[in-house]
Chain A
C-alpha cells in the first residue's frame, strides 16, 4: 500500500482540433518549451498540477504510462516517411521515443531520479502502479510521480481503429498524475493494486470479500452485463459513475482515481477488464 500525497488531473473531450496546450502550459507555469509537441505538453501539465504546492525531493522518481503514446507524431512520421517519401523531422523522431515526455517532465520539475515509461498492452495504468508499489515496498523509491497520458488526435478514424473501438465511441484525452510516497498520516489516501491478473472465478472470489460501502468503478471496456453481474455480487457497494465526464482513452483508470479522490471520501475499488482478464486497484481515504 502506498500513500497518495498529491493529485493532478487534466481531462478533456476536444472537438475537431487539439486544444492549444502550449498556451495553457504558459499560463499555468509561465514556461513554454521549444521542441515539445501536444503529447509532451499534456504530460507536463498533468505532472505540474500534481506537484503544485509540494516540495519535491530531486530523487523523486517518474513512472509514466500511456495506451497509445505520442500517436499524432507517430502518424506524422508515417506520413512523412511512407506517403511523402521524406525524411522525418529529427525532433519528431526524438519525441517519438516513449520516454521523451518523461525527460521534459523531469526537466520542468527539476527531478533527477529514476525515469521510467511503463508499457502494457492490456493494463498500462495498473502495471505502472504495480511497478511503483513494488519499488516502494522494496525500498527502492521513497517518492514518485506516476502519470497516465493519452492524447486526442484529429484523425478519429485512425484512433478508433488503433483502439479497436466502434467509430461512434467518443474519445477524449487526459494527463492524470499521482504524487506518491510511503505510508503517512498526512496522505490524501492510500492505494493498493492487486498484484496479479485475475480470471472471472478469481475475480468473483475477491469480490466476495469487498467491504460494504466500498464504491465500485468500472473500466469502460466492461459490458453492461458484466457490470450487472458484479453489482449483484457486491450488494451494499454503490457504483461510482464518472463515464459522462470523459471520453475514452486507455489511461482513464488514473482519471477515475484522481476524480474520486478530489471530491469523495471513503473507498473506491476500480475494476478493469481486457480479454476476459481483470485487474483491481483500490484507493481509500480512511486508512
Chain B
C-alpha cells in the first residue's frame, strides 16, 4: 500500500513530528495531509532546527537517511509525500 493511503503510517508520522518539535498543543488531526509542512499556512510553524530534529527522528525511527538539506526538502514536503517516500507501495 502506498504510504499516502496508509492512515496508520500518517498518524505515526504526525505524532512523531509533534513530539520531536515539542508542538504538544497541536493534535495529529489538526495537521493536514496535503499542506506543505514548512510553509506559513501549516499549523505547525516549523523552522530549520525542527527540520534537523525531524531528519534525525526519521533516521532513528524509520531507517530513512536524508543526507543533506536538498534531499530533505525533496522528500519532507507534505505528510502525504513523506509517507510515500517512506512507503512507496
Binding site for B on A (CB under 8 A): 34-35, 86-91, 94
CA–CA, A89 and B56, complex, Å: 7
- Chain A residues with CB below 8 A from B22, complex form: 34-35
- Chain A residues with CB below 8 A from B60, complex form: 86-87
CA–CA, A35 and B48, complex, Å: 13
Knowing that A34-B21, A35-B49 touch, tell me 5 more A-B residue pairs with CB under 8 angstroms.
A86-B59, A86-B60, A88-B56, A89-B53, A90-B56
Instruction: Judge whether B49 and A87 touch: CB under 8 Å.
Output: no
- Chain A residues with CB below 8 A from B53, complex form: 89-91
Q: Count how many pairs of residues, one from A and one from B, have CB atoms less than 8 Å apart in the complex.
A: 21
CA–CA, A179 and B60, complex, Å: 43
| Interface size class, chain B | 10 to 19
Determine how close the nearest CB of chain A comes to the CB of B61; give it in whole angstroms. 9
- Chain B residues with CB below 8 A from A87, complex form: 56, 59-60
- Chain A residues with CB below 8 A from B21, complex form: 34
Query: Considering the complex of A and B, which 3 residue pairs feature the smallest CB-CB distances, nearest first?
Result: A90-B52, A86-B60, A34-B22
Q: Which residue of B lies closest to A91 (CB)?
A: B53
- Chain A residues with CB below 8 A from B57, complex form: 89
- Chain B residues with CB below 8 A from A90, complex form: 49, 52-53, 56
Interface of B is mostly: helix
Determine how close the nearest CB of chain B comes to the CB of A93; give it in whole angstroms. 9
- Chain B residues with CB below 8 A from A34, complex form: 21-22
A-B contact pairs, 21 of them (CB 8 A): A34-B21, A34-B22, A35-B22, A35-B49, A86-B59, A86-B60, A87-B56, A87-B59, A87-B60, A88-B56, A89-B20, A89-B53, A89-B56, A89-B57, A90-B49, A90-B52, A90-B53, A90-B56, A91-B49, A91-B53, A94-B49
- Chain A residues with CB below 8 A from B20, complex form: 89
Within 8 A of A (CB), among B1-45: 20-22
CA–CA, A94 and B49, complex, Å: 10
- Chain B residues with CB below 8 A from A88, complex form: 56
Q: Which residue of B lies closest to A32 (CB)?
A: B22
Looking at A35, A91, A94, the one whose CB has the most chain B CB atoms below 10 A away is A91
Determine how close the nearest CB of chain B comes to the CB of A195; give it in whole angstroms. 41
Q: Which residue of B lies closest to A87 (CB)?
A: B56
Q: Which residue of A lies closest to B56 (CB)?
A: A87
Determine how close the nearest CB of chain B comes to the CB of A131; give it in whole angstroms. 31
Determine how close the nearest CB of chain B comes to the CB of A77; give it in whole angstroms. 12
CA–CA, A90 and B72, complex, Å: 15
